[in-house]
Amino acid sequence: MEAHIAPGARAIEATGVGSTPEHLGAAWYALGVLVAAYLMAYVDKQVIAIAAAQIGTSLSLTDPQIGMVLGLGAAIFAPLAIILVGFLADRFSRPLILAIGISLWSAATAACGLSQTYNQLLVASIVRTVGEATLVPIAYALIPDVFPRRLWVTGNIVFFVSALLGISIGLASASAALDWFSRNSSPWVASLGEPWRITMVAVALPGPLLSLMTLFIRTRYRATVDTQDDADRLGLVEFARITWKALAPLLLAKASLQVALGGLFAWLVVALPRQFDIAATRAGYDFSIATAVGSVLGVGAAFILSRRFADPTSSLGPLKTALGTFSGLIFISPLILAATSAGQVVAVAGVIIGLAMGASSLLPGLVQILTPSHLRGRASAAFALVQVFGFGLGSLLVGAVSGTAYFEGDALAAIAAVNIASWLVAAVAINFTRLTMPAALEKVQ
């Protein structure tokens, strides 16, 4: 498909930045900082989930309140922050915006550890998610700014893999830190406060250094795109009018996927100690391993399948794969309830995560196929919004469902229920995209 691209945009896309060793060294430095920021963001994100049991006991929180702490900021405030970041990123220094975001979320993570009331903890958790909301949109805007065109895909893949590693590293690191402070009986450690408080302050300490490193990222000047062919380019309103039947259900499928994963990641390490004789830290270790193995296998399988999609403009293969995956997960999710041990639950969770990550890696390509180059920034922002909203909503829904009279605090059953409903919605939505995508592509062309 030949997308509608203005001449200036085509020139930028073709040339990119310089390919000299100096330029490439600066580009890889920038990507290294982005990866480090992603890993830190996941550690800070997961430490609250890992410590949820201790926090709940210390501050006398209910399940719905824990759900609010884990998901309210991501569901409501982070999407608003993404919109603001998208506006600012076109007008101010992107590294500077990211540095401010890192400083914000690291300070807020420390503030969570210092909170004495539920309201203080809730506000700090919201500020943390707002700071983290700067990372993904800025990162995907920076990668084309620092790499030559031929390395854009490489940069994107490395950043995506860092997200997968970040999930497992975040779980393992947060679990290790909380376990160490919980077991350490040294007087100086005990004098610092409760283990969960010390852990949150400790994981926030690298923030200032990482924020400073971000300021040294070198980017090219953001050139102004030519407008002489504006009349020939597909406008945003017209694009939405002719593609909404394909794009809207695609975004709904992504949101549903994130709801399922958000509930699973936020609540599994909370639910396992309630149901089985296992410590939250041990559950975090086991879950991190299952997440890492499942993610690698799932993305690897999706990559192998994608090699069969010879025509880069074809959406049929990825859509069929995603539809089959979502349909299968409807029947796999109930196995959480059939498990008789914590290990079995973690194994099922690893399978769910692997399949979900594999399908998730195919969805951005579908958006790129459907969207002309000059509109992909806004389409990617919409994709990021539903991703953040869905992930936060998942933890909220599991907390709300678990707190109902029917479930009576059975968080595992709540996780299964939210997953089943989410995969059902995702399957129906992606099938609708499969049926409407060919007509939408023909109109965009």
Same domain, residue pair 54 and 138: yes
The total number of structural domains in the chain stands at 2
Q: Where does a domain end: 194, 220, 246?
A: 220
CA neighbor of 108 nearest in space, from 122, 124, 93: 124
Same domain, residue pair 421 and 374: yes
Same domain, residue pair 247 and 178: no
- Answer whether residue 2 is part of any domain: no
- Answer whether residue 3 is part of any domain: no
- Answer whether residue 229 is part of any domain: no
Same domain, residue pair 177 and 270: no
Same domain, residue pair 215 and 242: no
pLDDT digits (tens, 9 = 90+) for 289-324: 888 888 888 877 876 776 565 444 456 777 888 899
- Answer whether residue 268 is part of any domain: yes
Question: Residue 345: what pLDDT?
Answer: 93
CATH number, domain of 197, equals 1.20.1250.20
Same domain, residue pair 283 and 376: yes
Q: Where does a domain end: 193, 220, 247?
A: 220
Same domain, residue pair 215 and 87: yes
Residues 135-149 as b/e (b if ≥16 CB within 10 A, e otherwise) read bbbbbbbbbbbbbbe
Same domain, residue pair 261 and 182: no
Decide: 73 and 131 in contact? Cβ < 8 Å. Answer: no
- Answer whether residue 232 is part of any domain: no
- Answer whether residue 122 is part of any domain: yes
Same domain, residue pair 299 and 389: yes
Decide: 68 and 399 in contact? Cβ < 8 Å. Answer: yes
* Gap between the Cα atoms of 388 and 163, Å rounded: 14
Q: Where does a domain end: 190, 220, 250?
A: 220
Question: Residue 6: what pLDDT?
Answer: 35
Residue 39: which domain range? 8-220
- Answer whether residue 189 is part of any domain: yes
Same domain, residue pair 215 and 253: no
Same domain, residue pair 54 and 139: yes
User: With a cut of 70, which residues of the chain have pLDDT below it?
Assistant: 1-22, 74, 90, 149-150, 152-154, 156-157, 167-168, 171, 185-186, 188-192, 220-234, 303, 306-315, 365, 368, 371-378, 445
Question: Residue 233: what pLDDT?
Answer: 64
Which residues are CB-contacts of 233 (< 8 A; sequence separation ≥ 6)?
4, 5, 6, 372, 374
Same domain, residue pair 283 and 373: yes
- Whose structure tokens read 């993404």? 82
- Answer whether residue 275 is part of any domain: yes
